[in-house]
Structures are given as structure tokens and as C-alpha cells.
A and B are shown apart, each in its own frame.
Chain A
Amino acid sequence: DAGITQSPRYKITETGRQVTLMCHQTWSHSYMFWYRQDLGHGLRLIYYSAAADITDKGEVPDGYVVSRSKTENFPLTLESATRSQTSVYFCASTGDGMSMDEQFFGPGTRLTVL
């Protein structure tokens, strides 16, 4: 099906473990984003990508790594998970030009770090 998907939808892990959250979109959108959402903070940008092999830091990048080897995939890795990274993570994508005004979000991954 067309759209943007995330996996896993729920994840419980322990402090210090490496975790990778997957994001896949079928629209061939150039731009992809990772956000985290915590109560009282709204969505905060972690990393973004303008195209394959082009990534850049957002507002809260520390402790996260991304890659974009293919246009459709944008995985987010927590290298050594900490409790403060417990959050809901949303992946989003958008097209070029005027269409970049609307970002399309995946269903989110709820991550708990114990």
C-alpha cells in the first residue's frame, strides 16, 4: 500500500542497548524527517534528509544516528538508549516545491527505555 510506515509500532528496551526504528515511504518524496513527541514539548525535529545520502541534524540530535541509502527508507538508530529517549517517534515525508508545505506522518513508534 502507498504511504508511510514505521516499524516497530511499540518497543521496550533497556538502557544501553542499540535500537533501530524503521521508516519507509512509497511516494518517492525527497524529504524525510524524524521527530520525537513528549508531553509539553510538541514535536521536536531529531534529524532530516533532503535526499538519499544527504542528512542533517535537527533540534535534538544527540544520541541518535540516521542514514538514507535509499530514497524510500530513513532508519533512526539510538546508539545506546537512555531513559530520556523514552518517547513517541514520528517519521514524516514531504515532496518538493509547493507540495513541501504538507508533511505526511507515519503512525509512530512508542519507545520505552527501562
Chain B
Amino acid sequence: RKEVEQDPGPFNVPEGATVAFNCTYSNSASQSFFWYRQDCRKEPKLLMSVYSSGNEDGRFTAQLNRASQYISLLIRDSKLSDSATYLCVVRSNDYKLSFGAGTTVTVRA
């Protein structure tokens, strides 16, 4: 079983729409959670960390459910520039990260 599993999508949404997706993780000892963004097989970049109480960064909202071991990301008012692959990432009690395979989002005009 993969340590982090994501729905690969693609999620095709019009500009202005809201899109949400989540991932599940298998290691209950995971300590830190993140969403990374990757454009067209370029290098991944940190989008946001995910905190237990949930957090927002502009149009992006991340939630963590430790009991069910899933993490979600919601994008409001989608922009064309939000088209990318979103990687769900978890860290256990060391410095190594485990990556999901990514969820592809395409925002159309």
C-alpha cells in the first residue's frame, strides 16, 4: 500500500469555480502535512503547510483529519494559473517526505 494516495484526476473546472480534492495517508505517526504544486513536470514547490485546525492562504484552504488520515485542499475562484498538479506530502518523525502521485487540475477559460 502506498504511503500517500491521491485521486489523480484530472479535475477540469471553469474559471471562477471551486474545486476540492483530498488524499489519504497510511502512517498514523505522520507529523507534518503539506501541499506542493508542480507545473508541467517542473520542480515541485511548496504551496502550503496543513495544520490540524485547518488553514487558509488566499483562495486555498487546507484541512487535516487525523482520525480518518486524510488531507484536503480546496481552491476557490479558480484561475487559469491554478492549472497544475498538486502533490500531497507527509512527513513522519524524521526529515524525509513521502509524496503522493499528484492530482491534476485544469482550469479552462
Contact = CB atoms under 8 A, between A and B. Distances in A.
Interface residues of B, number: 20
Contacts of B32: 101
Contact of A40 (B49, B87, B96, B101): B101
Interface string B14-55: 000000000000000000101000000111111001000000
B105 interface: no
Nearest to A39: B101
Nearest to B91: A101
B102 A88 contact: no
A96 to B, nearest CB: 9
A102 B99 contact: no
Nearest to A42: B101
A42 B99 contact: yes
Nearest to A4: B43
B46 A107 contact: no
A contact residues, range = 20 to 34
A88 B41 contact: yes
Contact of B43 (A48, A90, A102): A90
Contact of A90 (B34, B44, B46, B91): B44
A50 B95 CA distance: 9
Contacts of B96: 33, 45, 48, 58
B84 to A, nearest CB: 14
A-B CB proximity, top 10 nearest: A105-B43, A42-B101, A43-B99, A42-B99, A102-B46, A100-B95, A31-B95, A105-B44, A107-B43, A42-B100
29 contacts: A35-B99, A37-B41, A40-B8, A41-B101, A42-B4, A42-B99, A42-B100, A42-B101, A42-B102, A43-B44, A43-B87, A43-B99, A48-B95, A50-B95, A90-B44, A94-B95, A100-B95, A101-B32, A101-B34, A101-B49, A102-B46, A103-B46, A105-B44, A105-B45, A106-B43, A107-B42, A107-B43, A108-B41, A108-B42
